[in-house]
Every structure is written in C-alpha cells, then in structure tokens.
Amino acid sequence: MARNAGGSSLMRQEIGQQPAALRATIEALLPRRAEVSALAAGTRAVLFIGRGTSDNAAVYGSYLIQAHAGRLTALAAPSIATTYRARVDLDGVLAVALSQSGRTEEIVETLEWASACGARTLAITNGGESSPLALAASVALCTQAGVERAVPATKTFTTQLAALAVLALALGAPLDPGELRAVPDAVESLLAGPADVAGLERVVGALAKVRGVVVSGRGMAYAAALELAIKLKEACYLHAMGLSYADLLHGPIAVVDAETPAIVVAADSGPTLAGTVDLARRVTEAGARAFGIGGGAALAAVCTTTLAGPALPEWLAPIGLIVPGQLLTEALARRLGINPDSPRGLSKVTQTD
C-alpha cells in the first residue's frame, strides 16, 4: 500500500490537519457575516446545491438553518437545471452551492441557472477565489483547508460544515460565535487522546468481517451519518446504508441482523439523543450489534462498543462527530488491504453529465 515518507496514509495525515484547517477557516469567515447578511437581505428561503460529500454537508446546513435561523431550506436536484433545463421561480431564494474543488461543472452550471432564475448566489468552496464556482457566485466563502491529496474528503468536509455554521449565524441564528471558535480545540482534543484505540480496533475488527452496515443518525447528526456511510462505501467498498433513524424504523431496520450491524451517531445532548439511544437498544435487543459514535454515557450504555464524540453543543457536534468515523474508515481500509488515499474508480474532482 502506498505510503508517504512518514509511513502513514495521506488520509490519516489530513484527518490530523483538521484542527488547523478549522481554525483558519473560522477566523477567515466569521468576519464576513455582515457581507453574507447583506446578500441574503430580502430572501426567505435557502436552496443548497451539491453532490456527494458536499450534499451531505448541505444536509447539516439545512437542519441548522431551519432549526435555528427560521428559514425554509431545500436540497436542489441539479438535473432540473442541467438535464431538464426547467425554469423555476427562485425570487426570494438564497442559492448556496458547495463544491470542495470549485470545479465541478454541474454545480457551477446549476448555480448559474439559479441566478438566472432570480436567486441570490453564494458559494462555499476550498477551490479559492479564482475557482469557477467562486467566480459564478455573488459572494464566495472560501474554506482554508489547504490542498487535500487523499481522494476521500476529510478536512474539506469539516471546513464546509464550519462555513455553514457561519452562514447560519449570518442569517440570524441566535447562537454563540464563541462556541464555533472553540470547535478546533474540541477536534484537537478528540484527535490527541486519550484515544480509544481498543474501541476502534473492536469496531474495525467487526466491520472487517461483514459486507454491509447501516449508519443512522437524526437531526444535526444525520449529516455525519450520511458522510460516514459514503466514506465506508468509497474507501472500504462496504455496502453502507445511511439513513435517518426515523426512516430506518419505517421498514429498513429489517436488514439489521447478526451479519449487518448498525452504527448510530449522536451528539451528547439535544432532542434527538433519546431516540438514538432507543434505536441502539432495539438493535442490540434483536441480537444485532450497535456501534455508537458520540451520544455520551446514555448511548454507550446500550451499544456494543462506542467511540467518544466531541465536547460540543448539538449545533456544532457534527463537525466533530465525523472525526471518529474518518479514523474508523481509514483504519478499516488498511485492515482490508485497500489504499485509503486512492480508492478504485474515484478521482478528486467528479464530473457528471
């Protein structure tokens, strides 16, 4: 397996770079709240445009802005713009396009379409001010993750979440910017230890023996569950299904059994924690394994094994909750003999028709 001079995967190095990337991003973007607020003045709804990992980030933005800024949000279907070429009335809409590279043509085209349909436009990208997406937007919030060399996104995803937290503040969410400034330290503590090496090894060992897993969360944590599922698919070739626990209970929970464990993700507090604990209890009582990420003592008490989450309030917890999932993905890929830096069939910039 390819390694750099230090012997670790690029993905593992970039996981470790997240505190610095988050710190730089938050300090660069928080002062721009007034600019974003001015752009959004007069708008009543937010339309998120993204694919893959960026779409998972948009799910976080959607929950955050609806729950705390009181604005209706929606996730765009880019095909409406690029394939059907439909005209939609987007007057009064703030269109927010997310792309790590800023070079995904479909996302750029969809943002331009939104503008032509009457929307105000904002970009969130790690591609810089000169990227096509940034140039297409009225305002660009450029994250400060630096070059990301591993194909699976890690630091570009968490910095996107930080940018969305800034967006929520700019849209009037009555939340504390000081809590956002504390996120890099919380992630640093999560990475620095004391790491639950034994717990991580238990989960890796279990997942190395199965073909499928269900990953579930709800509310703010749902985005982290979706992102972990896509990471397990792309880097470990695991059949991972990301579902809200509400959707899981509506039928798909039937796939969870002794051969198909569940990973449940939750903040240590908040209105969705009790339901996540109940879901994990139901899984284990049915004879299946439930592996927890976050959720504090309540979730740990009912799970087979739990990986600690971040010491963050619920509105910011997803930025830290994905970190144990990233570590799990990287370690599982190596256990399976897969290079986590360059999974088969993937490239850093994905272009779609």
Tell me if residue 209 is catalytic: no
For the stretch 299-336, pLDDT in tens is: 999 999 999 999 999 999 999 999 999 999 999 999 99
Residues 54 and 202 in one domain: no
Q: What is the distance between the alpha carbons of residues 233 and 337, in angstroms, rounded to a whole number?
A: 15
Please tell me whether residues 200 and 180 are part of one structural domain: no
Structural domain includes residue 94 = yes
Q: 346 in a domain, yes or no?
A: no
Mean residue pLDDT across the chain? 93
Q: How many domains would you assign to the chain?
A: 2
Q: Is the pLDDT of residue 252 over 60?
A: no
pTM: 0.94
pLDDT of residue 3: 45
Q: Which of 10, 296, 322 is nearest to 161 (CA)?
A: 322
Domain boundary among 153, 186, 219: 186
Confidence of residue 350 (pLDDT cuts 50, 70, 90): low
Q: Residue 220's closest CA among 294, 328, 305?
A: 294
Mark whether 160 and 220 lie in a shared domain.
Answer: no
CATH of the domain at 230: 3.40.50.10490
How many residues are given for the chain?
Answer: 353
pLDDT given for residue 4 in this prediction = 45
Tell whether 2 is covered by a domain: no
pLDDT tens profile 19-62 = 999 999 999 999 999 999 999 999 999 999 999 999 999 999 99
Assess whether 150 and 226 both reside in one domain: no
Q: Please tell me which residue in 155, 209, 231, 348 is annotated as part of the active site.
A: 348
* Domain of residue 79, residue span: 10-186
Judge if 115 and 253 occupy the same domain: no
112 and 157 fall within a common domain: yes
27 lies in some domain: yes
pLDDT: which is higher, 243 or 338? 338
Tens of pLDDT along 67-124? 999 999 999 999 999 999 999 999 999 999 999 999 999 999 999 999 999 999 999 9
Q: In this structure, is residue 350 part of a structural domain?
A: no
pLDDT band at 8 (very low <50, low <70, confident <90, very high): confident
pLDDT tens, position by position, 185-201: 999 999 987 557 889 99
Q: Are residues 134 and 220 in the same domain?
A: no
Domain presence at residue 5: no
Distance CA 194, CA 249 (A): 35
Domain-ending residue, one of 186, 207, 225 = 186
- Are residues 215 and 166 both part of a single domain? no
Q: For residues 101 and 151, state if they share a domain.
A: yes
Asked if residue 4 is part of any domain, the answer here is: no
Q: In what order do the strands lie in the sheet with 239-244?
A: 239-244, 212-217, 262-266, 290-294, 305-307
User: Do the domain assignments include residue 1?
Assistant: no
